[in-house]
């Protein structure tokens, strides 16, 4: 059982995809049933895994391939952080997508949901990958499966966005391939090892390892949207709302950030990174991205574009956490992987709801919207305050640990970056909150259709509300066992060999 469980998790979504591809376009009930059953099943499996891994059980699946390459799926604490994020948010996003696609945007739904499931399958594969080769396989698979989702709407904009997305990500993938093969030539069979595996090679291969590290960071940096590799992300905003939500919160951007974490913690190891002297550079790149993304976000009037630049900025918190030496900063970065996911997905659900229900895409049109859509906008306000890092929301916990880690490592400048980012986040999120609640509407909003009492269809209302409550809970109950923070601490203890 322990051998098959890591395989079963990506397989659930894969099976779902295969079934859905063959479901008739009009069989909504069947498709919804398959979607929700597999998504729920996956959450259950992940809960099972979580308990097992916290007890220290070992889950590993190995499938040898050619030339000593092998597919390894392995559940450790770090992969569980990502798997649980994607399982949870997949379920929520599936509910949202059912509402979004089936209620109004009805075209090519089977294609949409099929690739949607494939995309999640690839994401969990990335999370569970036990070596760089497996990681790369799923990473490329993710690129391919998200393309039809980005271009789902059709039209020139979507096709162009899809092309830009492919150019960026395939380019990054090619660089990764070279780097991984090169690394393999030095190290040999290389499974991820908690705490790193390159210690014996540092002395003899210092230069090569530094170059490979740079290539890997650039390769993953494309998806993690490190500047100047972030160009695809704002363009990919043409995708339907659930896809944007998934792209920004779980799948693509996170895969890049997660890749960087794997490189830093489980391939190179914190000690080796310090020895090679690459961490200050990584920290500088992350810091620059944090500030630059926020500056760009300030000037966007298009709601989704502002959110996109905010993602650019926020994802680099995770990388910053990896770039600072010491367990506390690691906790900060890891926990932000989860926190950023639930915060940002809430915002994209909200953006989708606005476009869907009142046809609003610009921030300047959002005056007084709180009265028309109170629950949606309350969810947004919670997420926005959390992004700024106002306690007791989730974002504050991340910021607090990053700050603690920076000070413990003697890197006071990081605190200055965090503060700058706080102020910038406040400058581009709080005015929206102000508009929504404290300004009078310019024009009356469209009333709910055919006498519906709710502000929007229930399927579109529950997901943002649920994730917003998660944002609150992740902060307020940060001290609970199995909270994101508790799990991040567990990972940090294992990575630094403190447990």
Shortest CB 295 distance to other proteins, Å: 6
Which CB sits closer to other proteins, 271 or 392?
392
Cα separation, 403 vs 389, whole angstroms: 12
Q: Which residue in this structure is represented by tokens 């397989």? A: 11
Shortest CB 298 distance to other proteins, Å: 6
> CA dihedral defined by 162, 86, 181, 280, rounded to 10 degrees?
90
Shortest CB 472 distance to other proteins, Å: 12
Which CB sits closer to other proteins, 186 or 409?
409
Which CB sits closer to other proteins, 219 or 370?
370
Q: CB-based contacts of 50: which residues, under 8 Å, 6+ apart?
A: 80, 84, 482, 487
Which CB sits closer to other proteins, 12 or 425?
425
Shortest CB 458 distance to other proteins, Å: 17
DSSP state for residue 92 in the 8-state scheme: H
Shortest CB 18 distance to other proteins, Å: 34
Which CB sits closer to other proteins, 237 or 278?
237
Q: Which residue in this structure is represented by tokens 């709080």? A: 430
Degrees, nearest 5: CA angle 334-41-70 = 60
Tokens of 262: 């794997």
Which CB sits closer to other proteins, 4 or 438?
438
* Burial group, residue 412, by CB count within 10 angstroms (0-12, 13-18, 19+): exposed
Which CB sits closer to other proteins, 28 or 361?
361
Cα separation, 464 vs 377, whole angstroms: 9
Cα separation, 391 vs 387, whole angstroms: 10
Which CB sits closer to other proteins, 179 or 402?
402
Cα separation, 20 vs 1, whole angstroms: 27
The pair phi, psi for residue 323, each rounded to 5°, is -85, -20
Shortest CB 330 distance to other proteins, Å: 15
Q: Which of 250, 239, 230, 243 is nearest to 316 (CA)?
A: 230
* Burial group, residue 364, by CB count within 10 angstroms (0-12, 13-18, 19+): exposed
Shortest CB 227 distance to other proteins, Å: 9
Shortest CB 97 distance to other proteins, Å: 22
Shortest CB 84 distance to other proteins, Å: 20
Which CB sits closer to other proteins, 90 or 380?
380
Cα separation, 404 vs 486, whole angstroms: 16
Shortest CB 233 distance to other proteins, Å: 9
Which CB sits closer to other proteins, 195 or 231?
231
Q: CB-based contacts of 392: which residues, under 8 Å, 6+ apart?
A: 472, 475, 476
Could you write out the DSSP letters of every residue in 174-217?
A: HHHHHHHHHHHHHH-S-B--TT-S-GGGTTT-HHHHHHHHHHHH
For binding to other proteins (CB under 8 A), which residues are involved? 157, 160-161, 164, 228, 230-232, 234-235, 237-238, 295-296, 298-302, 305, 328, 362-364, 385, 388-392, 396-397, 399-400, 403-404, 407-408, 415, 418-419, 422-423, 426, 430, 434, 437-438, 440, 475-480, 485
Cα separation, 343 vs 394, whole angstroms: 8
Shortest CB 427 distance to other proteins, Å: 8
Q: Which of helix, strand or coil describes residue 231?
A: coil
Cα separation, 243 vs 239, whole angstroms: 6
Shortest CB 389 distance to other proteins, Å: 8
Q: Which of helix, strand or coil describes residue 411?
A: coil
- The H-assigned helical ranges of 354-457 are 369-372, 374-388, 394-408, 412-438
Which CB sits closer to other proteins, 234 or 321?
234
Inter-residue contact 27 to 102 (CB < 8 Å):
no
Q: Which residue in this structure is represented by tokens 């690839």? A: 122
Tokens of 3: 């051998």
Which CB sits closer to other proteins, 239 or 272?
239
Which CB sits closer to other proteins, 4 or 434?
434
Integer CA distances (angstroms), 450 to 15, 81, 233, 237, 447, in order: 38, 43, 37, 30, 9
Shortest CB 74 distance to other proteins, Å: 31
């Amino acid at each position: 059982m322990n051998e098959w469980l890591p395989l079963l998790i990506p397989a659930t979504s894969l099976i779902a995809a295969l079934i859905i591809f063959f479901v008739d376009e009009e069989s909504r009930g069947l498709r919804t049933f398959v979607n929700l059953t597999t998504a729920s099943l996956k959450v259950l499996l992940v809960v099972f895994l979580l308990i097992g891994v916290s007890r220290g059980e070992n889950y590993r699946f190995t499938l040898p391939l050619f030339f000593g390459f092998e597919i390894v799926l392995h559940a450790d604490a770090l992969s569980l952080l990502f798997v649980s994020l994607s399982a949870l948010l997949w379920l929520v996003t599936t509910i949202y997508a059912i509402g979004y696609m089936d209620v109004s945007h009805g075209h090519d739904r089977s294609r949409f949901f099929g690739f949607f499931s494939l995309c999640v399958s690839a994401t969990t594969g990335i999370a569970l990958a036990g070596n760089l080769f497996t990681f790369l396989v799923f990473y490329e698979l993710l690129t391919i499966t998200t393309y039809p989702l980005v271009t789902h709407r059709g039209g020139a904009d979507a096709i162009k966005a899809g092309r830009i997305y492919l150019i960026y990500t395939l380019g990054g993938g090619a660089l990764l391939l070279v780097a991984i093969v090169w690394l393999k030539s030095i190290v040999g069979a290389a499974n991820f090892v908690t705490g790193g595996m390159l210690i014996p090679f540092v002395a003899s291969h210092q230069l090569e390892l530094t170059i490979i590290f740079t290539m890997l960071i650039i390769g993953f940096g494309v998806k993690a949207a490190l500047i100047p590799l972030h160009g695809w992300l704002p363009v990919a905003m043409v995708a339907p709302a659930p896809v944007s939500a998934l792209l920004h919160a779980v799948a693509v951007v996170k895969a890049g950030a997660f890749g960087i974490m794997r490189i830093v913690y489980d391939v190179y190891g914190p000690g080796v990174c310090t020895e090679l002297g690459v961490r200050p550079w990584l920290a500088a790149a992350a810091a620059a991205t944090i500030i630059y993304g926020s500056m760009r976000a300030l000037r966007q009037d298009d709601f989704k574009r502002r959110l996109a630049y905010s993602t650019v900025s926020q994802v680099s918190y995770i990388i910053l956490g990896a770039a600072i030496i010491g367990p506390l900063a690691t906790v900060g970065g890891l926990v932000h992987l989860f926190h950023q996911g639930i915060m940002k997905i809430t915002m994209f659900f909200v953006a989708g709801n606005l476009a869907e229900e009142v046809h609003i895409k610009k921030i300047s049109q959002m005056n007084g919207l709180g009265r028309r859509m109170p629950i949606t906008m309350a969810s947004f306000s919670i997420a926005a305050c959390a992004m700024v890092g106002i306690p007791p929301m989730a974002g504050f916990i991340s910021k607090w640990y990053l700050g603690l880690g920076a000070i413990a490592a003697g890197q006071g400048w990081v605190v200055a970056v965090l503060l700058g980012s706080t102020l910038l986040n406040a400058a581009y999120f709080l005015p929206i909150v102000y508009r929504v609640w404290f300004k009078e509407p310019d024009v009356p909003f469209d009333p709910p259709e055919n006498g519906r009492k709710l502000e929007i269809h229930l399927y579109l209302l529950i997901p943002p509300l649920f994730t917003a409550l998660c944002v609150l809970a992740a902060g307020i109950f940060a001290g609970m066992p199995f909270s994101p923070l508790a799990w991040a601490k567990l990972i940090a203890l294992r990575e630094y060999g403190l447990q």
